[in-house]
Amino acid sequence: MSVTDPASHYDRVTNAWNLLLGNELHYGVFPVGTETLAEATRNLTLRMVEAARIGSGARVLDVGCGTGTQACYLAADHGAVVTGITTSRVGVHASRARATALGLEMSTSFEQRDGTDNGFPDASFDRVWVLESSHLMPARDRLLAECSRVLVPGGRLALCDIILRRPMPFSEVRRLREPLTVLRDVFGDARMEPLDEYREFAEHVGLGVDEQTDLTHETRPTFARWRENAMNNRDEVVASLGEKDWQLFVDACDVLDRFWEDGTLGYGLLAASKPS
């Protein structure tokens, strides 16, 4: 499997990652620090809901929908009508199964599409939701352009993801080749950008940014919770991915913790509106 192919990567790891990352498959926000992973991941989802201002009847495009957890939550708890897209075949199947089990087939749909070229008509969604998928899309400018294109006038974008918090010269990238390779092997061929660059992309395509929040401190306890899950579910994860990949995941948690501590990487949220 090539780590440069996000779809193949996530097809392979999705089932195990439910055990490692939790059902919501994303980072958590820990205002106190003692929250469980489930509480913290729901905190992040709620921050996104608030930033996107999602209400009943809103047509939402969920770019990089994972296994459909957030899409189903938005439909069930906020009355949204959600279209989830992902390049992962396994993700689409899991999302549809989740929606069917919850009786949400009428308010959710899931398709295999590319967030940087989604194929939907102009102005077809009230909200666009991008939760931890943009770092796997090299053409970040095209992603933001597509988000803007499919939004109705007055619509909103909410995006959160891992961010680069300081410049990394090529010499440092070479020096850090081993830990960066660990992250690539575990999480796919990602590229992180500063939160300011997301803002520039958004503003370039006509979106007005009204929230730009650094959540680095509040997300750091995520890695300790992931390590705990790796230890508690070791046998099942090894059966799914193998001993080598289980150990790589644990190593990746250590790498991320160090990068959060030294200010190299972090986490940010951005929200913007399309002019009416």
Q: Parallel, antiparallel, or unpaired: how do β-strands 208-214 and 151-164 relate?
A: unpaired
Q: For residues 131 and 160, is the Cβ–Cβ distance under 8 A?
A: yes
The whole-number pLDDT of residue 265 equals: 96
The whole-number pLDDT of residue 217 equals: 97
User: Cα dist. 191→21, 77, 164, 178, 275 in Å?
Assistant: 20, 33, 9, 16, 29
Q: For residues 147 and 176, is the Cβ–Cβ distance under 8 A?
A: no
The whole-number pLDDT of residue 161 equals: 97
- Which residue has tokens 């055990």? 19
Please tell me whether residue 218 adopts helix, strand or coil conformation. Answer: helix
Question: Over 50: is that where the pLDDT of 194 sits?
Answer: yes
Q: pLDDT class for 13, splitting at 50, 70, 90?
A: confident
Question: Over 60: is that where the pLDDT of 226 sits?
Answer: yes
Q: For residues 150 and 125, is the Cβ–Cβ distance under 8 A?
A: yes
Per-residue DSSP letter, 139 = -
- The single-letter code of the amino acid at 27 is Y
- Which residue has tokens 């295999």? 112
Q: What is the pLDDT averaged over residues 45-64?
A: 96
DSSP 143-202: HHHHHHHHEEEEEEEEEEEEEE-S---HHHHHHTHHHHHHHHHHH-S-----HHHHHHHH
Question: Over 80: is that where the pLDDT of 241 sits?
Answer: yes
Q: What is the pLDDT averaged over residues 212-222?
A: 98
Question: Over 90: is that where the pLDDT of 96 sits?
Answer: yes
Q: Based on the number of CB atoms within 10 Å of its own CB, is 217 exposed (0-12), middle (13-18) or buried (19 or more)? A: middle
Q: For residues 229 and 40, is the Cβ–Cβ distance under 8 A?
A: no
The whole-number pLDDT of residue 191 equals: 86
Average pLDDT taken over every residue of the chain: 93
The whole-number pLDDT of residue 56 equals: 95
- CA–CA distance, 54 with 61 (Å, rounded to integer): 11
- The residue ranking higher by pLDDT, 9 or 145, is 145
Domains and CATH numbers, the chain: 6-167+190-220+263-273 (3.40.50.150)
Q: For residues 74 and 80, is the Cβ–Cβ distance under 8 A?
A: yes
Question: Over 60: is that where the pLDDT of 165 sits?
Answer: yes
The whole-number pLDDT of residue 15 equals: 75
Question: Over 60: is that where the pLDDT of 3 sits?
Answer: no
- CA–CA distance, 58 with 15 (Å, rounded to integer): 30
Question: Over 70: is that where the pLDDT of 245 sits?
Answer: yes
The whole-number pLDDT of residue 34 equals: 94
Q: What is the pLDDT averaged over residues 19-25?
A: 89
- The residue ranking higher by pLDDT, 6 or 146, is 146
The whole-number pLDDT of residue 23 equals: 83
Each residue of 104-137: pLDDT tens digit? 999 999 999 999 999 999 999 999 999 999 998 9
- Residues 181-210 as b/e (b if ≥16 CB within 10 A, e otherwise) read ebbbbbbbbbebbebeebbebbeebebeee
Q: For residues 82 and 50, is the Cβ–Cβ distance under 8 A?
A: no
Per-residue DSSP letter, 116 = T
Please tell me whether residue 224 adopts helix, strand or coil conformation. Answer: helix
- CA–CA distance, 134 with 97 (Å, rounded to integer): 24
Question: Over 80: is that where the pLDDT of 2 sits?
Answer: no
Please tell me the number of Cα atoms within 13 Å of 154 on its side-chain side.
4
The whole-number pLDDT of residue 215 equals: 98
Q: What is the pLDDT averaged over residues 146-172?
A: 95
Q: pLDDT class for 11, splitting at 50, 70, 90?
A: low
Question: Over 70: is that where the pLDDT of 57 sits?
Answer: yes
Residues 6 or more apart whose Cβ sits within 8 Å of residue 18: 25, 67
Question: Over 80: is that where the pLDDT of 4 sits?
Answer: no
> What is the dihedral sign for C-alpha 69, 222, 55, 208?
negative
pTM here? 0.92
